[in-house]
Amino acid sequence: MEKVFARPSCLKDKPFRYCPGCSHGVLHRIIAETIDRFGIRDRTIGIAPVGCAVFAYDYLDIDMVEVPHGRPPAVATGMKRSRPENIIFSYQGDGDLAAIGTAEIVHAAARGENITVLFVNNGNYGMTGGQMAPTTLLGQKTTTTPAGRDVRSAGNPIRVCEMLATLDGPVYIERVALDSPKNILAAKRAIQKAFRYQIEGRGFSLIEMLSLCPTDWGMAPVQAVDWVRDHMAPYFPLGVYKDQGSAGKAETD
């Protein structure tokens, strides 16, 4: 009998502790499948800061480093420069990457470091109970914006892909969503491409993933799927913002 499906070798055989409908488990699987696909398990190092990403070490059976809030691009820079044979990816939430770590991501992108950044945009600070993040939508209720985010006091949400795509440093920037099987497959192709570009030495890649956080959004998972499609994606359009390596071969599922 032909085997058509198997657990990725670097995904541990244990249940995820994430909330129902959370996107982190989906992303963990995609990362594990990508590492298996390229046969890079022995030389891949993941970097996770605080935030729900901190649990990734518990599921991905690879070398993982935990770093302070917002600092993954700085740590990734040092690791990649000192050990260029390793494949280095960061796994960052929107509070991490777009608030406390804004300086680090902007400068790592501007320098064009040969690293892969996986950016989980779930519209809030998930781990600490759903506070406003830079990506919280106008009008969106969070624990720190109980009446909805107000532009007069909290400013506008930040579109990270669009902002970083203005820099000369990055090679590849794409925004995807983890809200449907079709979009998850597209996310997998984007992540594979970003890893391939690093393996080929092309430079800095960032994949932003619109992700579900039903618990902190106060929604059922099915409502959260609708929220991503109807509210997040119109403000954060999916698509490729920069791809300077597209002459390479296309990814397959």
Ligand X SMILES: Cc1ncc(C[n+]2csc(CCOP(=O)(O)OP(=O)(O)O)c2C)c(N)n1
Binding footprint of ligand X on the chain (CB under 6 A) = 50-53, 68-69, 93-96, 120, 122, 125-128, 133
Q: Return the number of the residue (93 or 157) whose C-beta is nearest ligand X.
A: 93
Q: Return the number of the residue (32 or 98) whose C-beta is nearest ligand X.
A: 98
Nearest to 97 by CA among 59, 125, 62, 66: 125
Angle between helices 102-111 and 72-82 (to 10 degrees): 30
- Contact (CB, 8 A) for 161 and 194: no
- Least distance from C-beta 92 to ligand X, angstroms? 7
**Residue 192: partners with Cβ closer than 8 Å, 6 or more residues away:** 34, 37, 38, 251
Q: Return the number of the residue (129 or 248) whose C-beta is nearest ligand X.
A: 129
Q: Return the number of the residue (22 or 173) whose C-beta is nearest ligand X.
A: 22
- Least distance from C-beta 93 to ligand X, angstroms? 2
Residue 74 CA to residue 97 CA, distance in Å, equals 11
- Least distance from C-beta 162 to ligand X, angstroms? 19
For 152, counting Cβ atoms within 10 Å of its Cβ (0-12 exposed, 13-18 middle, 19+ buried), the class is exposed
- Least distance from C-beta 131 to ligand X, angstroms? 7
Q: Return the number of the residue (11 or 53) whose C-beta is nearest ligand X.
A: 53
- Nearest residue relative to ligand X (C-beta): 93
Q: Return the number of the residue (86 or 143) whose C-beta is nearest ligand X.
A: 143
Q: For residue 167, give both structure tokens.
A: 């820099």
Long-range contacts of 224-228 (CB under 8 A, 24+ apart): 224/21, 225/21, 225/179, 225/180, 228/177, 228/178, 228/179
CA triplet 47, 51, 56: central angle to 5 degrees? 45
Nearest to 188 by CA among 247, 252, 244: 252
Q: Return the number of the residue (44 or 136) whose C-beta is nearest ligand X.
A: 136
Phi, psi for residue 18 in degrees, rounded to 5: -70, 160
- Least distance from C-beta 96 to ligand X, angstroms? 3
Helix (H) or strand (E) holding 132: strand 131-132
- Least distance from C-beta 213 to ligand X, angstroms? 6
- Least distance from C-beta 211 to ligand X, angstroms? 8
